[in-house]
Amino acid sequence: MINKISHNKKNFKNDSSISVSLDNVSIKYGNSVAVKNVFCDIKKNQVTSFIGPSGCGKSTVIRAINRMNDLIEGCELSGSVIFEGTDIYAKDIDPVEVRRRIGMVFQQPNPFPKSIYENIAFGARVNGFTGNMDQLVEESLIKAAVWDECKDKLNESGYSLSGGQQQRLCIARTIAIEPDVILMDEPCSALDPLSTLKVEETIHELKRNFTIIIVTHNMQQANRVSDYTAFFNTEKDGKDPGGKVGFLVEFSKTKNMFNSPKQKSTQDYISGKFG
Amino acid sequence: MLLQVDKATTSKFLLRRRTTSEKLVDISFKNFVVTMASMVAIILFSIFAVVYYESTESISRYGLRFLFSSAWNPVTDEYGAFTAIYGTLFTSIASLLIAIPLGVGTAIFITENIIPKYIRDLIGIMVELLAAIPSVVLGLWAVFIMEPFIRPFLNMVHEIFGFIPFFGTEPLGAGMMPAILILVVMILPIITSISKDSLNQVPSNLRQAAYGIGATRWTTIFKVIIPAAISGITGGVLLALGRAMGETMAVTMIIGNSNNFSWSIFAPSYTISSMLANQFGEADGSQVSSLMYAALILMILTLMVNVFAQWIVKKLSLKYQ
Amino acid sequence: MDYNSKKALTYNPSLTRNIGNKALTIISALFAIISVLPLILVISYVLIKGGSYINFETLILEPEPPGDDLLSAGGIGPAITGTFIMTFIASIISIPVGVGGGIYLAEYSKSGRFAKFVRFGSNVLAGVPSIIAGVFIYAIIVSTKILFGSMFSGIAGGISLSILMLPTIIKTTDEALKLVPDNLRKAALGIGASKFTMICNVTLPAAFSSISTGIILGLARAAGETAPLIFTALFSRYYITSFDDLFYEMGSLSVLIYNFALEPYESQNQLAWAASFILVVILLSLNILSRWINRLDAFSKNKV
């Protein structure tokens, strides 16, 4: 195990194509282990999707990448999450700065109770944006493919949009702060199929400029949007008879995983036998 | 290390790296709110500490004897709080016994669909507005309007039942009975509004289940609705008891402020809070210490009631989940 | 009974259960009427009797010493300003402490041991009788002459009122912030806002109307309180004319009512009624204002 870690680190330093590297990450909520021993290197400017049955810890892992888990009391992480050469769980790291570099889009669309314009400008201002704000708002909304639908009502409340539009507004808000990585935690689970399609198109567009990690329970979606796929599964917790622990089963190119999975459980999952 | 790999866009985002001043504001704000939260604890502790410290002289002099003696004589310097303690407990419990049926009954009436909703809402708002009227105004009303009005009725009771010690003295104005009635007016809004809230929280499928098996309205209320809301109602009743024990102004104005013990509810009496209101301003020396001792007793009584209220709400509501 | 006939399903008023039902319904209606009666009686007496003594002179004159002049007792002007000043002092102390403490409870430590204790403590503090707050301030401020040698003072009165406002404000702030959806917090932190920015720009504005409702109700409670003032601020018949006067005895509507209601002179009693009118009008408007803010807020939330 120790060899593996050092190997991993060395490997990482030489490889500038890697954005985020999960290095033996285990996460506990209080006494119960949610997910354990995750090793995973996420490539720059690619879309990586996390799939797996519910309770396998995929959302927990994605939240660990920009330290959103700090908000949950009793949540502990061991191992390290390395972002561009820095362990973001080191003592002197400020989680707020991490989140400025690694943005996040959540499961439920969550616009601020402000105007559409302010929703985007607020984040930029928090990050000390000095350029032309009108231009930034327009560009971000165009990139998130929601500009046409809201260009005439920028001063209306963010809640005046439909669910799918709200979610793309939230994506625009994240793009506006120009993070290096965008995390998306089941961004389409609250949306109708048409909106889902639009968000997926948006993700395709964004790939050129951003590293994207997306959690999804929809295998077709993973197949459509992502370049790499990580499959998580659960197993019985050895210590806690009722509990389940998530772990990473397989991580490879999406094409390979869906055509020729290496593990039996991956095969079962993507062919719909369980989950 | 993070800086070196920053994109060219960094120039547009001056605060991509947080400035020291931004961090400082963040940390000082946290320290500020922690301090403010601690103030509650500090105030609570210092109230207990100060009242205890000020009463040590009287505590060491009288000990528990203070609770059972009704001597209160600044000239001979002899003090005992029995009349005031008895008055506090008697007035608050008696008023509670009157207010519980009234308050809970009103709460049921305005949560059931007996009459149109807007009238029920109006009644609810009016009862809550009653809570907004200051104690001293109720006292004024009690002295000039209520007491003269009820005196003939009290007199009648005295003439018929005068052989019972509770009604043994002639009602001559201020006394325990008017104080009890004004306390009823003061605690009624608490019991009503808390009971109303707990009754409203009873899930409607419980009610439907009862109606579905052919129960009448009042069977449903007594057997299903009230048991489900009992934790909230009990909590409200206990809060009202705490409030009645500590209530000062209206009681002080109407209870007659006499330290002579009497069984009769028509005779003037004292409560701890009215004794404090009446004597504290002019007291000195060991009288202050004795008043502080009485204040300490009042605090302990209300504290016990309030803690018990919080405990019972938690306990009973857990049972129902 | 013949279940097949239609009669079996018609309402039979002589059935025991129907009589009992009707009786209980009538009793509960009776109780509701009895509960509303005091409000109607008190309000109408205060508004009619008190209102009849209100005129321009009553509102601005200083009260005369009881018994000096049996025909005119002066006015309640200094008591009105005194009530406003002391309530203001109470709010500049209790609003920052209460809102700050509430922010700590809701945003920084939802279920920590200290937060639990503070919540418990503010519940206990809410149950502390108001007269005890007066006794406490008397012991630490008035009798020690800690405020530049002054004893009874408007400032001491204001501080004792702030103790009574504090639990209401801390509790409503805590509860209002807890109702703000966590999604908004995540949204703010997700774009790199610091906790301070998040609270000031997102959660506090979202909870603003509920918090202001709590503050208004706290103000209303403080403005009507008498017990903590009778031996901290005492009473004064004079207007304050300078800042220094804050360190001397100060009159208030509520203490004026208490003092003058127990005077044997008719004209003083009338002043007490007039003061009750003003006090009740102020408190009822504050209450209605807080309801109005709440309703406005619910309305605007439904709209977006």
Distance CA B85, CA B269 (A): 10
- CA-to-CA dists, residue A28 to A60, A106, B160, angstroms: 10, 21, 76
Token digits of residue B285: 């020396």
Using the beta-carbon criterion (under 8 Å), do B17 and A126 form an inter-chain contact? Answer: no
Q: Which amino acid is at B142?
A: A
Q: Tell me, what's the pLDDT at A10?
A: 43
With H, G, I as helix, E, B as strand and everything else as coil, classify residue C95.
Answer: helix
* ipTM of model: 0.90
Mean pLDDT check: name the lowest of B10-19, B311-320, C75-84.
Answer: B10-19
Chains that touch B (3 or more CB pairs under 8 A): A, C
Using the beta-carbon criterion (under 8 Å), do B292 and C139 form an inter-chain contact? Answer: yes
- State the residue for tokens 């993973």: A222
DSSP string, B175-230: SHHHHHHHHHHHHHHHHHHHHHHHHHHS-HHHHHHHHHTT--HHHHIIIIIHHHHH
Q: Tell me, what's the pLDDT at C106?
A: 92
Chain A residues with CB-CB distance to C192 below 8 A: 96-97, 99-101, 103, 123, 126-127, 177, 179
Residue of A96, A101, A174 with shortest CB distance to C194? A96
Nearest CA in chain C to B134: C224
Q: Tell me, what's the pLDDT at B321?
A: 44
Distance CA A100, CA B28 (A): 21
Which of C95, C124, C262 has the highest number of chain B CBs within 10 A, making it the mutation to test binding with B?
C124
Q: Tell me, what's the pLDDT at B274?
A: 94
- The answer to whether C134 and C229 have CB atoms below 8 angstroms apart is yes
Distance CA C100, CA C186 (A): 21
Chain C residues with CB-CB distance to B216 below 8 A: 17-18, 20-21
- The answer to whether B177 and B171 have CB atoms below 8 angstroms apart is yes
C115 to chain A, any CB pair closer than 8 A? The answer is no
Bridge partner list, A253: A228
Using the beta-carbon criterion (under 8 Å), do C183 and A113 form an inter-chain contact? Answer: no
Nearest CA in chain C to B145: C45
Q: Is the pLDDT of residue A38 over 70?
A: yes
Q: What angle do CA B134, B103, B237 make, to 5 degrees?
A: 80
Contacts of A160 (CB under 8 A, 6+ apart): A116, A153, C304
Residue of A68, A108, A112 with shortest CB distance to C189? A68
Token digits of residue A261: 């999975």
Using the beta-carbon criterion (under 8 Å), do A66 and C186 form an inter-chain contact? Answer: no
Mean pLDDT check: name the lowest of B28-42, B176-190, B273-287, C84-98.
Answer: B273-287
Distance CA A12, CA A44 (A): 12
Mean pLDDT across A129-142: 90
- The answer to whether B139 and B252 have CB atoms below 8 angstroms apart is yes
C201 to chain A, any CB pair closer than 8 A? The answer is yes
Q: B205-217 pLDDT, tens per residue?
A: 888 888 888 788 8
Contacts of B249 (CB under 8 A, 6+ apart): B134, B135, B136, B139, B277, C226, C227, C254, C258
Distance CA B84, CA B107 (A): 33
Distance CA B43, CA C93 (A): 13
More confident residue, A14 or C71: C71
Q: Is the pLDDT of residue B3 over 60?
A: no
Nearest CA in chain C to A174: C191
Mean pLDDT across C249-254: 92
Distance CA B125, CA B119 (A): 10
Q: A137-173 pLDDT, tens per residue?
A: 999 998 888 888 888 999 998 888 888 889 989 999 9
Q: Tell me, what's the pLDDT at A12?
A: 46
Mean pLDDT across B113-117: 84
Using the beta-carbon criterion (under 8 Å), do A127 and C206 form an inter-chain contact? Answer: no
CA distance A97 to chain B (A): 6
Helix segments in C15-149, DSSP class H? 16-45, 51-52, 56-60, 77-103, 113-127, 130-137
Token digits of residue B15: 């605060």
Distance CA C169, CA C98 (A): 5
- The answer to whether C203 and C99 have CB atoms below 8 angstroms apart is no
Q: How many of the other CB atoms lie within 10 Å of CB of A234?
A: 20
Chain C residues with CB-CB distance to B248 below 8 A: 129-131, 226-227
Name the pLDDT band for A7 (thresholds 50, 70, 90).
very low
